[in-house]
Amino acid sequence: MRNIPQHIGFIMDGNGRWAKARFLPRTAGHLAGLKALKKVILGCINEGVRYATLYCFSTENWRRPQDEVNYLMGLFSEKIMGEFPFYEKNGIRILTLGDISALPEDARKSLEEVSEATKNFDRISVQLAINYGGQAEICQAVNAAIKEGIREISPEIIRAHFQNPDVPPVDLIVRSAGEFRISNFLLFDSAYAEFVFCDKLWPDWGEKDVSDVIDTYNTRVRRFGGVVQ
């Protein structure tokens, strides 16, 4: 029987290289990346994946040229809520992950609005990781616990103080565009995730690629430190 990961995390990389190969500005790569993102969500839904986390903007991505950062912030403010009919039709609940309070106001508002508007959709929960960093996430959870007066931290306490504690740990982390690193993504919950690295640049991704990575996932034996008989 084919085993479907409950939660897949996607490090969507290669937008810039995709654009460069076409003599286009990097921003054109991000727009194409957004189209791929929709196809990948549909691919997840078709496979029965219940949770997906899409790495959209890291805590380190502020280092990019200002016009590129502005363009990405514009995508968050203008495009995300504009896709509401897509979420409604497909039962997509949007959650944000990361410190969106540091975003320009219109981007922050649009993300808050979309989370509220989609909160009852239940085919798939999609976390958009924006101004997200795995190290910052752990610090935020520990600080939240300290504020409650907790004096001794455990893995369970850290998880319980995550932004979306109902989202289960990631089973599979996928990275496009041929890089072999985690780039500060889901550091805590990746403890026992499987990893699949693909050469294909993110804007070229579609529904079939989701089936392919799930096929690869099915070749893995997850032992969680134990012994499989």
Under DSSP, the state recorded for 102 is G
Out of 11, 158, 170, 196, the residue judged to bind ligand IPE by CB under 6 A: 11
- C-alpha distances in Å from residue 138, one per residue of 57, 135, 148, 191: 17, 5, 16, 13
216 binds ligand IPE (CB under 6 A): no
Count of residues interacting with Mg ion (CB under 5 A): 1
Residue nearest to Mg ion (CB): 13
**Rounded-to-integer distance, Cα 183 and Cα 226, Å:** 28
Chain CA centroid to CA 107, Å = 17
Q: Please, what is the angle between helix 207-217 and helix 26-47, to 10°?
A: 60
57 binds ligand IPE (CB under 6 A): yes
36 binds ligand IPE (CB under 6 A): no
Active-site position among 3, 13, 209, 212: 13
Can you say whether residue 55 is alpha, beta or left, with left for phi > 0 and alpha for psi between -120 and 50 degrees? beta
Out of 16, 98, 133, 134, the residue judged to bind ligand IPE by CB under 6 A: 16
181 binds ligand IPE (CB under 6 A): yes
Q: Which is nearer to ligand IPE, 61 or 144 (CB)?
A: 61
The catalytic site residues sit at: 13, 61
